[in-house]
Amino acid sequence: MPSSFPAIYLASTSPRRAQLLEQIGVPFEIIRPDDSEAAELLEAELPNEPALDYVRRVCRAKAFASFAQISAHQLPTRPILCADTTVALNDRIFGKPANATDVHTMLNQLSGKTHQTHTAIAVVHDGQLIERVVTSDVTFRLLTTEDIDVYIASGEPFGKAGAYAIQGLSACFISHLSGSFSAVMGLPLFEVADILQNLHAPTP
């Protein structure tokens, strides 16, 4: 059995990340950004930015912003967990689709190919920033127009990096995964557990 985890702040509104933390028994409180527009701007890509650099930068920026917000509100001191996930094909970043046309474009490009999913995590605790990045290779089978149309009708691809969610209907698209299922889902549980168990922070 894993050792007890400290109570943390989860600086993410992703229900998938919350579900994953619940899965391994981490007590957490969700911190939502005071300024949602400013939070969205943190995810803006820089010109010619490599996917790994992008995901590290965005995750670090979220961590600093969350720490500043928690400090400003004078909330109790706890470790802060941030995460960011991006999908990349040949180092081209696939963000969240804006509409059905975007979904078709992204999934047609991922069809029959192996792409990378990079998930960065950052934990702010006791004046330290602890960072990890987990990269997984995901292979899609060849997709038909009907496959993509049915998937769009489900509503699932919207709000998801790369226009798919591995834990949902798109599991039928994935012929091979090399890496971490939970990282592709949005939070690498092995790495999160390893960091939190080594913080030596008391549970309130």
- 152-161, long-range: CB < 8 A, 24+ apart: 152/100, 152/103, 152/104, 157/97, 157/103, 157/107, 158/96, 158/97, 158/103, 159/96, 160/96, 160/97, 161/85, 161/86, 161/87, 161/94, 161/95, 161/96, 161/117
- Which position among 84, 91, 147, 149 bears the catalytic label? 84
E-assigned strands of 2-107?
8-10, 28-30, 80-89, 92-94
Cβ(125)–Cβ(165) below 8 Å: no
Q: Does the annotation count 126 as an active-site position? A: no
Q: What is d(CA 126, CA 27) in angstroms, rounded to the nearest whole number?
A: 18
Q: What DSSP element (H or E) covers 133? A: strand 128-140
Locate 140 and state its tokens.
């899609």
Tally of helices (H runs) and strands (E runs) in the chain: 7, 7
The residues assigned a catalytic role are 84
